[in-house]
A = this chain, B = another copy of it.
């Protein structure tokens, strides 16, 4: 099933230069594209590849277009952000090739009589939905999901199979939760009483905004008294742990294996590399970027990129440098001592000359 290039551009925006009647069947990378594809150039270093692609249409910026000139002879779509345009074209074709499943509730699903399920929602096999749950229009609940008491899902939100979305958790519209994620496990709260741990009941919930995506096997704990809050447009990759009472600002994105300890407040439009860690009760400003494998042990007030990991080396070399790391404070003292002696020697020398 193909789409007229003119129709595609009319639907997604951008400026078309070339034949609007070209039939496009999908999007592919520069080298892999064939004549029925549209492709894109988002990295100026790939300009020569763009000139040689077999694709019938090319998404690119005005600047790249003028640089490439006549070297590419197909149709072009001009846009400020070719990579984002690629994403939208890919969405366009993905929706056409995989039409959504038919609305309805699978007979094996167990649904409390008090739950409100929109007529356009899809509830898969072996799903459990508890009392007072509200499922919005066009939601899709994958097989094996469990939705706890009084939870709610906004319009168009998708839970992939085997998600646990527990009591008093709420997500807005157009959310996506990948398989195995757990939203609303108890926060890790215990008071120590002479060595024994007394559990502090976790009675808050989790509130996720609109357009949030949560990765596979990621966990977001419910708050102790207040809610844990995930802002609109936040994207979390797989295997992430968000502890109780964290607040994450809009459009912040975290790569896999990140951990955020309790009550951390993270700003908007931040990014976290894989396995970055944030200690509890910290504040991180908007537009902060944490590198992979880095541990944030203090609040960060200033936007920018922050890093802290031990550089990789051959094991034998690491052993040598790690041995010195253990003595760094004495090494600094030796330098101070050297500086003192050298100063004395210099003074002596100048006075004696």
> A residues bordering B, Cβ < 8 Å?
28-29, 32, 81, 83-84, 86-88, 90-91, 93-94, 97, 106, 108, 110, 124-126, 128, 130, 142-144, 146, 148, 160-162, 164, 166, 176, 178-180, 182, 185-186, 188-201, 203, 211, 213, 215-217, 219, 221, 225, 233, 235, 237-239, 241, 243, 251, 253, 255-257, 259, 261, 269, 273-275, 277, 279, 290-298, 304-315, 317-329, 331-332, 334-335, 338-339, 341-342, 345-346, 348-349, 352-353
A353 and B320 CA atoms in complex are apart in Å by: 39
Do residues A216 and B87 form an inter-chain contact, with CB atoms below 8 A?
Answer: no
Do residues A321 and B313 form an inter-chain contact, with CB atoms below 8 A?
Answer: no
Do residues A186 and B176 form an inter-chain contact, with CB atoms below 8 A?
Answer: yes
Do residues A179 and B161 form an inter-chain contact, with CB atoms below 8 A?
Answer: no
- Residue in B180, B199, B292, B322 whose CB lies within 8 Å of A311: B322
Residue in A148, A216, A225 whose Cβ sees the most chain B Cβ within 10 Å: A216
A334 and B337 CA atoms in complex are apart in Å by: 12
Do residues B146 and A143 form an inter-chain contact, with CB atoms below 8 A?
Answer: yes
Least CB distance, A12 to chain B, in whole angstroms: 11
Least CB distance, A264 to chain B, in whole angstroms: 11
Chain B: which residue is nearest A287 at the CB level?
Answer: B195
Do residues A191 and B87 form an inter-chain contact, with CB atoms below 8 A?
Answer: yes
- Residue in B188, B296, B307, B341 whose CB lies within 8 Å of A342: B341
A219 and B349 CA atoms in complex are apart in Å by: 68
A206 and B182 CA atoms in complex are apart in Å by: 23
Do residues B195 and A269 form an inter-chain contact, with CB atoms below 8 A?
Answer: yes
Do residues B313 and A307 form an inter-chain contact, with CB atoms below 8 A?
Answer: yes
Query: Which residues in B have their C-beta under 8 angstroms from that of A162?
Result: 144, 146, 162, 164, 182
A295 and B341 CA atoms in complex are apart in Å by: 39
Do residues A304 and B294 form an inter-chain contact, with CB atoms below 8 A?
Answer: no
A126 and B106 CA atoms in complex are apart in Å by: 13
Do residues B335 and A312 form an inter-chain contact, with CB atoms below 8 A?
Answer: no
A110 and B126 CA atoms in complex are apart in Å by: 8
Do residues B295 and A305 form an inter-chain contact, with CB atoms below 8 A?
Answer: no
A197 and B243 CA atoms in complex are apart in Å by: 24
- Report the 10 A-B pairs with minimum CB-CB distance, sorted nearest first: A185-B216, A94-B201, A308-B312, A128-B143, A84-B193, A305-B315, A164-B179, A110-B125, A146-B161, A307-B318
Query: Which residues in B have their C-beta under 8 angstroms from that of A189?
Result: 87
Query: Which residues in B have their C-beta under 8 angstroms from that of A349?
Result: 345, 348
Do residues A219 and B238 form an inter-chain contact, with CB atoms below 8 A?
Answer: yes
A255 and B312 CA atoms in complex are apart in Å by: 18
A200 and B58 CA atoms in complex are apart in Å by: 17
Do residues B335 and A329 form an inter-chain contact, with CB atoms below 8 A?
Answer: no
Do residues B259 and A275 form an inter-chain contact, with CB atoms below 8 A?
Answer: yes
Do residues A241 and B241 form an inter-chain contact, with CB atoms below 8 A?
Answer: no
Given A185-B179, A238-B185, A259-B257, also A334-B325 (CB < 8 A): no
Query: Which residues in B have their C-beta under 8 angstroms from that of A323?
Result: 329
Do residues A326 and B311 form an inter-chain contact, with CB atoms below 8 A?
Answer: yes
A296 and B314 CA atoms in complex are apart in Å by: 11
A324 and B329 CA atoms in complex are apart in Å by: 6
- Residue in B253, B331, B334, B346 whose CB lies within 8 Å of A341: B346
Query: Which residues in B have their C-beta under 8 angstroms from that of A238?
Result: 182, 185, 188, 219, 221, 241, 243
List 27 contacting pairs A-B, 8 Å CB cutoff, sorted by A.
Answer: A83-B191, A86-B191, A108-B108, A110-B143, A144-B146, A178-B185, A180-B180, A180-B182, A188-B235, A188-B237, A195-B251, A195-B269, A196-B211, A199-B213, A217-B239, A237-B241, A259-B274, A261-B274, A275-B277, A275-B295, A277-B293, A294-B312, A306-B313, A308-B311, A317-B326, A317-B329, A338-B339
